[in-house]
Amino acid sequence: MKQERLSVDVAIVGAGPAGLSAARAAAKSGATVAIVDDNPRAGGQIWRQAATAAPTSAAAERLAILRQPNVTHLAATRIVAETQPGTLLLEDDERGLLLDYRTLILCCGARELLLPFPGWTLPGVTGAGGLQALIKYGLDVRGQRTVIAGSGPLLLASAATARQAGARVSHVLEQAAWGDVAGFGAGLWRWPSKLAQAAKLVTAVYRPDAHVVEAFGDKRLERVRIRHGDREFDVDCDRLACGFGLVPNTVLPSHLGCRIENGAVAVDAHQRTSRDGHFAAGECTGVGGSELAMVEGEIAGYAATGQTAPLAALVARRAHWQAFADSVRERFAIREPIRRLARPDTLLCRCEDVRFDTVAREPGWTAAKLQSRCGMGACQGRVCGAAAQALFGWTPPVPRTPLVPARVGTLMLDGAASCDGA
């Protein structure tokens, strides 16, 4: 296995809208920039296209930064640990790599919140964002009877992606009440681009105050039970995409000692974290959409490289998009009936087959892991940990080294063999 070392002025974690915008701003100073991303293609979930698809104009403008001579893109690369202040241990399929930096910008994004309900582990059931990603990577859904359910604007985007790929989308179920959805729509005039986007995505099968109660099937999904208002009914389907919004990815920022508040990385007016020389931008600082992520990335990139002139205008623009994010969070908050969908025998941790009632009686996440192996499977708690945090209010422990499974050869780099266990 090859062993290398790379030194840059600015390291950026994440090649989504925030990370690419941060790189674009930082590179204008002439600084050397490295962008680390665990996906093979840049763009994040929102801009990740099928291999044959042309990127949107906004994406193309920012993806162009990857061709600049002072920018290095480390694709399909995982962050294993911080070996010492200013050095990250990385690994890809062929090598271990030590990345030295003067300044770090964390654009770690978010992951989908999946909440347990009877039948949610059946083949054919995915997250709403998960279905989008699968389609972009080539999943054939042509002719499949599809139900989209959960909460938030992502549902309409997921439904549109599925329809464009040939799926027969029969229901889009939003758990938020009619009043909240109507109030959100009435306020969209403040963000004309979002209003235009909503007008394109809206569908006649969209239903607020509705959610999936249970999924049924023998070897895979066959039908779902829907509750709409006070009425329940069954719908035959081949695929269910069910997600309840997004939660910030804070594993690496927490590992680096950045302060976490309300489940997100805490930052100041210029996106600085509580750790000196470390900035954060985008969904890891609070879920708010691509427009907010891009402006936060720009602020972080300029501030990290001492380019202060553009900051005042960008801070004002950030406030505009932060107001949109606040509206989404308020109007699409998870309601109590959703939190009560799981039965005692419903699996919470699907990797280790741990039942809901086994975890629910524990006082916290660490105790749940010790008593049940919850969160110790393939996803390492990324699904069940977020669900437990949302359902029980547990605070996750600070992640330990190594952050991801890694080869022994990688862990031997620069004394990293002193890892203290997972």
Verify that 293 and 185 share a domain, yes or no.
Answer: no
Verify that 139 and 194 share a domain, yes or no.
Answer: yes
Q: Which of 243, 273, 293 is the last residue of a domain?
A: 243
Tell me the CATH number at 11: 3.50.50.60
Indicate the pTM of the whole model: 0.93
Residue 384 lies in a domain: yes
pLDDT tens digits for 107-158?
999 999 999 999 999 999 999 999 999 998 899 999 999 999 999 999 999 9
Verify that 127 and 143 share a domain, yes or no.
Answer: yes
Q: Is the pLDDT of residue 419 over 70?
A: no
Q: Which of 183, 213, 243 is the last residue of a domain?
A: 243
pLDDT tens digits for 345-396?
999 999 999 999 999 999 998 898 888 989 888 888 889 999 999 999 988 8
Task: Return the closest-CA partner of residue 206 out of 142, 163, 155, 250.
Answer: 155
Verify that 71 and 121 share a domain, yes or no.
Answer: no
Verify that 11 and 88 share a domain, yes or no.
Answer: yes
Mean pLDDT of 268-296: 97
Whether the bond into 402 is cis, omega within 30 of 0:
yes
Please give the single-letter amino acid code of residue 294. M
Q: How many CB atoms lie within 10 A of CB 226?
A: 21
**DSSP characters for 312-357?**
HHHHHHHHHHHHHHHHHHHHTPPPHHHHT---TTSEEETTTTEEHH
pLDDT tens digits for 45-67?
877 655 445 567 777 888 999 99
Verify that 99 and 165 share a domain, yes or no.
Answer: no
Task: Return the closest-CA partner of residue 127 out of 167, 158, 82, 162.
Answer: 158
Domains in the chain, number: 3
Q: Which structural domain, as residue segments, surrounds residue 156?
A: 116-243
Verify that 131 and 238 share a domain, yes or no.
Answer: yes
Please give the single-letter amino acid code of residue 331. R
Tokens standing for residue 71:
């920018």
